[in-house]
Structure 1
């Protein structure tokens, strides 16, 4: 999980647990930290209410259970649109219709509550996923019967982008918002840029990079969210099983966290084919044996 090198937590940084990971914000003006925390917490709460797969009262769960579709909030419409765009961009590698498969494999609640549980039988409880079967027409969302959407591959990254933009717009400060491996920045950066230590797991290869103002970084991993042997949260939609462990992690830099996460997730699904996709994108792949492959100008 990328870590952010910054001033001590009491000066310009705050963090708290959320969504089975850690939310961390850094601001360029420590006097605005408390207000920034309020704004980010509010944004994350709104996203959770809109699209959590684990909350029976979430808007997304209600939409998945409503035959014939339903009108949804602008926030959920934006998040679903982002997920469908990611699916189209990656040729279906990042597919939001894998929620049923994840639940069937045992990932049916917040990650912190499932670690160490026995593996669930590998049974397709839901129809085979296909993002093209989901319809979003304006604010009307229609999900095929029996399909459970999971926006985890895109919504957390989109939430980081949204939260960073909100803080800068409302408070006029530079900010970095990190939600686990999803990092977004907005406004002015500290002198020399935002220093980010990229390392997925303790003992994994690490490096420090500097993010210019307004850029983002996402790291996706086949190691960080494992709840049973052989089971992790990066699903290959074509097989309905966790993607093979060709890469331990994939890190991508882009102008938005959503764009970066779309590519980093697709890289893990594509395995060896990821290098062609990332050839011109600043990216860093860590192999199953811990070797590092740098692409697209990623610093040595």
Structure 2
């Protein structure tokens, strides 16, 4: 999980647990040493709560679950329309590698509750999982959303990154400060950056290879992993990135993939698609600054990613 390596002068931070990961907010201001981290954290918490209420797959009362149960066109809030729109755009841009219709497949694999709740619980018997419906079966026209009968949407591949971008932009706009918002492996920045940029340590776990990068103001970074969210039984270790073509976890060609981009949503779309694409990931990523780590901990750098 990427971490802010050093806290710049004039910055302060707040962090808490959310969505089975750690949320961290770092606020920077050249104007004064006094921190706005508390106010920034309150803004980020409010944004995350709104996103959770709109699109959580684990809440029966979420707006998304209601839309999936309807089986007919429903008018949704602007926030949910934006979240679903982002997911469908990611699907289109990756030729279906990032597909929001994998919710049923994830439930069949046992990922049917918040990830933190999976830890230590008895593993259900193996369930045969079929390929997911096609993302093109979902219709979004303005705020009118139609989800086919039997389809459960999962926006996990895009919603967290969307939330990081949205929260960072709101903090910078309302408080007039530079801010970095990290939600697990998803990092968004907004407003002015410290001198030399935001210094971030990219490393999935204590024993993984690490790399320090500097993000300029407004840049974002995402890391997708096949080892950080795993569950299962002896002989069958599952992870949360599903290949929509099989309904099963993507083959572990890559341990982690990290990408820097102008938005966290774009970065996470590419990292998720790269995990699904497997050996085709380098061609998919093209010139995007990226870092791919193999299961044997070999590192492939592309697009000017620093060594």
What range describes the TM-score normalised by the shorter chain of this pair? over 0.9
* SS of residue matched to 2:258: strand
Partner of residue 156, structure 2: 152
Please give the TM-score of this superposition, normalised by the length of structure 2: 0.94
Superposition pairs of residues 8-157 of structure 1, within 5 angstroms: 12-29=12-29, 30-116=34-120, 117-118=122-123, 120-124=125-129, 128-157=132-161
Whole-angstrom CA distance in 2 between matches of 1:6 and 1:16 = 18
Indicate yes or no: 2:298 matched with 1:298.
no
Deviations 1:140-160 (A, max 9, x none): 110010000000000000000
CA distance in 2, matches of 1:31, 1:182: 23
**1:190 equivalent in structure 2:** 194
Unpaired runs of 5+ residues, structure 1, are none
Partner SS, residue 112 of structure 1: helix
2:239 match:
232
**Structure 2 gaps, min length 5:** none
Determine if contact 2:224/2:272 at 8 Å carries over to the other structure: yes
Q: Which runs of 4+ in 1 moved over 6 A?
A: none
- Report the counterpart of residue 6 of structure 1 in structure 2: 6
Q: Aligned-pair distance for 1:138?
A: 0.8
Query: Are 2:251 and 1:247 equivalent residues in the alignment?
Result: no
RMSD value, Cα: 1.6
2:275 to 262, 268, 278: 268
Cα displacement (A) at 1:201: 1.6
Give the CA deviation at 1:245: 0.6
In structure 2, distance between residues paired with 1:7 and 1:257: 21
Q: How many pairs are equivalent? A: 299
Contact map agreement 2:132 2:246 (CA 8 A) in 1: no
Cα distance in structure 2, aligned partners of 1:103 and 1:131: 17
Residue pairs, 1:167-246, within 5 angstroms: 167-228=171-232, 229-246=236-253
